[in-house]
Amino acid sequence: MIEHDEFGPEKIVEVYDPKTKMHGFLVIDNTVLGPGKGGIRMTPDFSKEENFRLARVMTWKCALAELPFGGAKSGIIANTKKITKNEKKAIIEAFSKALKPVCPSKYVAAPDMYTGEEEMKWFAEANGSMEACTGKPKELGGIPHELGSTGFGVFNSTLVAAKHYGLDLKNSTVAIQGFGNVGGFVAKFLSEVGAKIISVSDSKGCLNAPDGINIDKLLRIKKETGSVVNYSEKTVKSRDMHPSQVFKCDMIFEKQVDILIPAAIADVINKNNVDRVDAKIIVEAANIPIPHDIENILYERDVLIVPDFVANAGGVISSYVEYINGTPERMFKLVEEKIKKNTKLVLEKAKKEKMNPREAALEIAKKRIRKKTVV
């Protein structure tokens, strides 16, 4: 159930197009700081409730990153693996046209799960405005998320968290759940500073290598074959798992590691597997990968958690740089500056005031929105 409070949501839109069978949602949560910013995801089980939760994360994320954006999120109920490219294009175009009354004045879209720069091109062209979204192809003035801005931000957040914890990243062990555009880049950057990636997963299964994974080799195999399971014969493939395990592959949460990075979908660490989590630090690369009450359980066990809207803000910072016609070089510099600054700010506040890092981050984000509201 969607609950309203002083921050929002301001507008909930549900649209359907009989011709393309496009069924989508948009939640504009808060526009105090600027137009609502949030990606478009395409999944077969998307819901208004999930949409709202993700939009609220964007409200906090933009406020904490001190960007002139509010929070929003949109999604389309669709199984992208069962539709053609032309069908997907028609659905995106229908969705864009349906959102014209609020986009780009109140909502600026971006890529998310199963959407990328090509989908943003379709969206902008159907909307009639290049300002309707970010994450567009370079030739349209975009800074594609495929450059790895979110993963680069998570990497920098992990650097700060490890230092705060007193952990030497060199030879530290890392497990990454989700090896897509975010998880792949996190693995690349962490391996380059000497961290040992021992376990990764994607929708096809899990890869475990106690002696460490050759990330350059794995990235090549993932690109060529579509999955991490083709790295070795010793992997667990999705056909060997219960259907509910796809994307989750709970085995990865049982690994004894220094750092665990959930980088796929929501609620993957929950009441059913929280007792098997065995990590010192969790950096949330995905949005809402752990329900808040479960985070509290881990906090009581002295697991250091960097909340999603602190760690994974690299994507929306990149969107801002594109929005102001900046360059990729400017984007990477700003992502590093803002992510490091805010991760340090949140963790130090949490430690000083003996509070969950999420509570500390929320206090900072809410204060910034309230300050703007009363000006």
Q: Name all contacts of 197-201 with Cβ < 8 Å and 24+ positions apart.
A: 198/173, 198/174, 198/255, 198/257, 199/175, 199/252, 199/255, 199/257, 200/175, 200/176, 200/228, 200/252, 201/176, 201/177, 201/228, 201/249, 201/251, 201/252, 201/264
Please report whether residue 48 resides in a domain: yes
CA atoms of 343 and 361, how far apart (whole Å)? 9
pLDDT digits (tens, 9 = 90+) for 270-316: 999 999 999 999 999 999 999 999 999 999 999 999 999 999 999 99
126 lies in the same domain as 192? no
CATH code, 97: 3.40.50.10860
Tell me the average pLDDT across 81-95: 97
Residue 296 exposed, middle or buried by CB count within 10 Å (0-12, 13-18, 19+) = middle
Domain edge (last residue) among 138, 165, 194:
138
Q: At residue 135, does pLDDT exceed 50?
A: yes
Tell me the average pLDDT across 164-174: 95
Mean per-residue pLDDT over the chain, rounded: 92
pLDDT digits (tens, 9 = 90+) for 242-281: 443 333 467 788 889 999 999 998 899 999 999 999 999 9
Which pLDDT score, from 0 to 100, does residue 253 have? Answer: 84
Q: Is 166 helix (H, G, I), strand (E, B) or coil?
A: coil
pLDDT digits (tens, 9 = 90+) for 2-15: 789 999 999 999 99
Tell me the average pLDDT across 152-160: 98
DSSP state of 203: T
Q: Which of 162, 165, 160 is nearest to 174 (CA)?
A: 162
Q: At residue 238, does pLDDT exceed 60?
A: no
Q: Is 188 annotated as catalytic? A: no
Which pLDDT score, from 0 to 100, does residue 243 have? Answer: 40
89 lies in the same domain as 165? no
N-term to C-term CA, the chain: 32
CA atoms of 73 and 53, how far apart (whole Å)? 9
Which pLDDT score, from 0 to 100, does residue 373 have? Answer: 73
Please report whether residue 321 resides in a domain: no
What is the DSSP secondary-structure string of 19-56? TTTEEEEEEEEE-SSSSEE--EEEETT--HHHHHHHHH
Buried b / exposed e over 299-330, threshold 16 CB at 10 Å, is: beeebbbbbbbbbbbbbbbbbbbbbeeeeeee
- Catalytic entry in 73, 121, 188, 248: 73
pLDDT digits (tens, 9 = 90+) for 176-199: 999 988 999 999 999 999 999 999
Torsion, Cα of 244, 248, 252, 253 (10° steps): -90
Which pLDDT score, from 0 to 100, does residue 239 have? Answer: 47
Q: Give residue 253's domain range.
A: 149-315+341-363
124 lies in the same domain as 170? no
127 lies in the same domain as 154? no
CA atoms of 257 and 241, how far apart (whole Å)? 23
Q: At residue 322, does pLDDT exceed 90?
A: yes
86 lies in the same domain as 169? no
DSSP state of 164: H
Which pLDDT score, from 0 to 100, does residue 246 have? Answer: 38
Percent of the chain with pLDDT over 90: 81
200 lies in the same domain as 346? yes
Total Cβ atoms within 10 A of residue 17? 16
53 lies in the same domain as 165? no
Q: At residue 18, does pLDDT exceed 80?
A: yes
Q: Where are the alpha helices (DSSP H) in the chain?
A: 48-64, 85-98, 117-127, 149-165, 183-192, 215-225, 292-300, 308-311, 314-323, 328-353, 357-374
Confidence (pTM): 0.90
Are the C-beta atoms of residues 360 and 343 closer than 8 Å to each other? no
310 lies in the same domain as 199? yes
Total Cβ atoms within 10 A of residue 242? 9
Please report whether residue 331 resides in a domain: no
Sheet holding 196-202, edge to edge: 236-237, 205-208, 196-202, 173-177, 256-262, 278-283, 304-306
Place of tokens 């958690």: 305
Domain edge (last residue) among 138, 165, 183:
138
87 lies in the same domain as 193? no
